[in-house]
Amino acid sequence: MGVGVSLSGLASAVANEGGVGVISSAGLGLLYKQISSDFLEASIYGLKEEIRLAREKTKGIIGVNIMVAMSNFVDMVKISIAEKIDVIFAGAGLPFELPSYLTKDSTTKLVPIVSSARAAKLICDKWISKYNYLPDAIVVEGPKAGGHLGFKAEQIDDESYSLENLIPEVVSILKPFEKQFGRKIPVIAAGGIYTGEDMYNIMKLGAAGVQMGTIFVTTNECDASNGFKQAYLGAKQEDIGIIKSPVGMPGRAIFNDFLEKVRQGKKQPISCPFKCIRTCDVSSSPYCIIIALINAVKGNFNGGYAFAGTNAFKATSIISVKETFETLKNEFKEKVKSLKQASGNSLLPPSTT
């Protein structure tokens, strides 16, 4: 949902429906380049502005997603905390130092994004030993997510790394920390969750909630252009697959002519204009990823492509966030109802009984 897809518009709409609306901090320096030609300076201005705009539209919970791999990670974290954002979600790397940026009057919750139980334990161990701080929740993102994935290419289709296996592993590894501190660490499941039934199934395995991105692209309030949304509506299942990203990670995207030219070796940048991601090596990168993603979000697919989750092909129309929430809740309730009728309360997730 990064680089212009989820900003104040979508985030506030989700918050108004009782969810946690998340602003992506990626690429804000380009989206606000009219403010400053300095990418990092424009990024700071853009983050403040998006938080302000979201606050004008909702009294609900607003979060910011900040990638650890971003060159301005620390600045964006400090700005978010100063602006009293409700939650910081930090992934694309292990945010070992994240609690160090909190101040005495901070109200911001800290939620790392991981792709393994090992990473969850490492973060908890580090945060406790250095800051006596336990994550306020942990997002576990599986290999069916859109965009950059925290897995090796050979792990993506390996059932051992499926979200259904990861959730119980993370829930289990967190239990000693919960016992030590006397409180729960909610585990939020992400990646490939598209329906209310999907929500039920993953919560049955121990997740306290879910993070969803792909389904909200095809909403009226999504901040991306209509052209970007149409790419989802036009995608077939076979159009969605794994690419090798310039940042050194596999990513899931909708294949198009731009990516075909990359595959054929016809794309090559001359220099890195922004230095936005620390792990991006321009000397071996076939294109500038942030420019490609900005082009796509504006509907220019001659110069870019859309990241998408594995279920993006299921989108059939553009509807409101409110309608999306109602559909998800109804699907969840129908699943619960059918299982009650069949087997009684024993099959319900703990939070529904």
pLDDT tens digits for range 269-310: 656 665 656 566 666 677 788 888 999 999 999 999 999 999
Rounded CA separation 210/270 (Å): 41
Considering the chain, what percentage of its residues have pLDDT values greater than 90?
A: 72
> What pLDDT was estimated at residue 233?
97
> What pLDDT was estimated at residue 347?
57
The structure tokens listed for 120 are 């969850």
Least confident range of 98-112, 228-242, 289-303, 321-335: 289-303
> What pLDDT was estimated at residue 63?
97
> What pLDDT was estimated at residue 100?
96
Q: Assign 161 a pLDDT band (cuts: 50, 70, 90).
A: very high
Q: Assign 353 a pLDDT band (cuts: 50, 70, 90).
A: very low
Kindly report, as residue ranges, where domains of CATH 3.20.20.70 are found in the chain.
8-216
The structure tokens listed for 19 are 């969810």
Q: At what angle do helices 196-204 and 163-181 cross, to 10 degrees?
A: 50
Helix (H) or strand (E) holding 229: helix 226-233
> What pLDDT was estimated at residue 268?
66
> What pLDDT was estimated at residue 273?
63
> What pLDDT was estimated at residue 282?
64
Under DSSP, is residue 244 helix (H, G, I), strand (E, B) or coil? strand
Query: Taking all residues of the chain, what is their mean pLDDT, rounded to a whole number?
Result: 91
Q: Assign 345 a pLDDT band (cuts: 50, 70, 90).
A: low
Helices (H), 85-162: 117-131
Q: Does position 38 have pLDDT exceeding 90, yes or no?
A: no
Indicate whether this model's pTM tops 0.95: no
Q: Does position 315 have pLDDT exceeding 80, yes or no?
A: yes
Rounded CA separation 125/116 (Å): 14
Angstrom distances, CA of residue 243 to CA of 5, 27, 103, 142, 291: 19, 20, 40, 16, 17
Rounded CA separation 40/70 (Å): 10
Rounded CA separation 163/142 (Å): 5
Q: Does position 346 have pLDDT exceeding 60, yes or no?
A: no
Q: CB–CB of 63/46 below 8 Å?
A: no
Q: Does position 351 have pLDDT exceeding 50, yes or no?
A: yes
> What pLDDT was estimated at residue 196?
96
Angstrom distances, CA of residue 308 to CA of 157, 198, 216, 226, 272: 16, 17, 11, 15, 25
**R_g of the chain computed on alpha carbons:** 20
Q: Answer whether CATH 3.20.20.70 is correct for domain 8-216.
A: yes
Q: CB–CB of 249/155 below 8 Å?
A: no
The structure tokens listed for 14 are 């989700």
User: What are the two backbone dihedrals, phi and then psi, of residue 63, each rounded to the nearest 5 degrees?
Assistant: -120, 170
Angstrom distances, CA of residue 31 to CA of 7, 132, 144, 207, 227: 11, 37, 28, 35, 17
